[in-house]
Structure 1
Amino acid sequence: MDLNTASLAGLTKLVGLESAYDLILWRPYLSWGEVACVPGFDERRVAELRAAGATVKLPGDPRTFRDDGAARL
């Protein structure tokens, strides 16, 4: 599930309703480091999201993002 495009219902199943709203409010994310800046999402919680299969991609962006957030062209 991509954090930039997931629906509220999908995010709610993953993180709960209040946290899902927070994730949507702070979109778009360019890196996991930006997700870690969302209130309630520290490095541990980000690691849990990644382990659950969550991804961070920008729709329509031809670049891909490495795990460290650096763009590759």
Structure 2
Amino acid sequence: MDLNTASVAALTKLVGLESAYDLILWRPYLSWEEVACVPGFDEARIAELQAAGAHIRLPGDPRTLRDEAARRL
């Protein structure tokens, strides 16, 4: 799941509703260091996100655009 494009519903499954909104509020992310600036997201919590399959793709990255197009179908 890409933190820059994931829906509130998808993020809620990983981090809970309040934290999902916090993640969306601070987007886009260019690195995990930027995620660490979000209140409540320390190194341990970021490690949990990564272990759960979360990743960061840069806005405009062809993989991100492909994923967004597939989601619309």
TM range (shorter): 0.7 to 0.9
Cα drift, residue 61 of structure 1 = 3.0
Cα drift, residue 58 of structure 1 = 1.7
Q: Name the structure with the higher strand share.
A: 1
Cα drift, residue 59 of structure 1 = 3.2
Superposition RMSD in Å: 1.0
Aligned partner letter, 1:33: E
Conserved in 1, the CA contact under 8 Å of 2:28 and 2:59?
no
Could you say which residue in structure 2 is the equivalent of 1:54? 54
Q: Name the structure with the higher helix share.
A: 2
Alpha-carbon distance in 2 for matches of 1:30, 1:7:
18
Runs of 4+ aligned residues of structure 1 deviating over 4 Å after TM superposition are none
Instruction: List runs of 5+ in structure 2 lacking aligned partners.
Output: 63-73
Identical-residue share of aligned pairs (%): 85
**1:1-73 equivalent positions in 2, closer than 5 A:** 1-61=1-61
Alpha-carbon distance in 2 for matches of 1:10, 1:54:
11
Alpha-carbon distance in 2 for matches of 1:30, 1:59:
8
Instruction: List runs of 5+ in structure 1 lacking aligned partners.
Output: 63-73
| Secondary structure at the counterpart of residue 5 of structure 1 | coil
TM-score by length of 2: 0.80
Aligned residues: 62
TM-score by length of 1: 0.80
